[in-house]
Amino acid sequence: MRALIQRVESAQVEVNGSVVGSCGAGYLVLLGVAPADDDALAERLWRKVSSLRICADEEGRTNRSLRDTGGDVLVVSQFTLYADARRGNRPSFTGAAAPELAERLYDRFCDLAEAELGAGRVGRGVFGADMRVSLVNDGPFTVMLDTSELGWDASTSA
C-alpha cells in the first residue's frame, strides 16, 4: 500500500459538483493499493498514519500526531500512486490492485480511521469516481509512505 499524506488546514473532494467528503485541520491521505496487500497491512498502515508525528507542537516543532492534535482526515483512493513511467511516456498501472481488492482495503482503512477518530472526523472520496480534490496545504508538508519500502508486506504485516 502507498499513502501520500498532506498536512492540511482543510480539504474536500467533489463528485459531479457535489462535496462528498471533507476535513478540517489534519491530513489528506491519498491511498493506493497493490495486488498483494491485505487487511493486516491496511491496519498497520493506518496505525502508522495516525501516529506519524508531522503536526506542530506548542513550539512549532513537528512533534505531534493526528492522535495528539485531534485532527481530521480525508481519505481518497488513488490507484495512480502505482503509476510506472519508466518506459515510454504513458504510465502503466499494472502495479495497482484490481478494483475489488482496492475498494475493500480502501474501505477497511477508512473504517479503521472512523473507529479511532469518530465518523465525524473522517471524510471519504467515492471509490472509482472522477473526483475533484481541493485543499489548503499546511506547510506545505507532504510525506509518502510505501509499505514495501518500510519492509512490510502481507507476510510481515501481523
Which residues form the catalytic set? Answer: 78-80
Q: How many CB atoms lie within 10 A of CB 52?
A: 19
Q: How many CB atoms lie within 10 A of CB 66?
A: 26
Cα(98)–Cα(72) distance, rounded to whole angstroms? 28
CA nearest neighbour of 72 among 48, 47, 50: 50
What are 32's three cell numbers? 493506493
Question: Strand, helix or coil at 30?
Answer: strand
Give the contacts of 153 (CB within 8 A, at least 6 positions apart).
36, 41, 147
Question: Strand, helix or coil at 110?
Answer: helix
